[in-house]
Amino acid sequence: MKKLLYLFILVVFAACNSGTQKTTEVAQPEQIVESTIAIGGLHCDACVASVEKGVNSLSGIESVKVTLADSTAIVTYNASAVSIDEIEKSIEKRGYTIKAVK
């Protein structure tokens, strides 16, 4: 009977301990990058607002400034959260073309 009691206590301790493993996530450091994107198809202030809204909707964007005069967007973003390809796709999704990225 004592063996059965010890076995029961052992099983209870094993069951209680099985789900208490600690996991730690290592946060990736921010990589703030600034890129200048030449955009084709910008004709008016509504186009500028559309591009800014699309890029700002992405996670990891710090700032975006679209200039109609030279048809460029200066985008500051966290490269560990969003890629330049995702930014380009968000612009193209709104009907504009990417001419160059610096």
pLDDT single digits (tens) 76-95: 999 999 999 999 999 999 99
DSSP-based three-state secondary structure for 58: coil
Average pLDDT over residues 66-78: 97
Closest C-alpha among 48, 38, 36, 33 to residue 81: 33
List the domain boundaries for the chain: 32-101
Contact in structure between 98 and 92 (CB atoms under 8 Å): yes
* Nearest-10 Cα torsion for 97, 53, 63, 93: -30
H or E segment at 18?
Answer: none
- Tell me which architecture the domain covering 32-101 has in CATH: 2-Layer Sandwich (3.30)
pLDDT tens-digit series, residues 34-66: 999 999 999 999 999 999 999 999 999 999 999
Residue type, position 99, single letter:
K
- Check residue 29 and give its pLDDT: 78
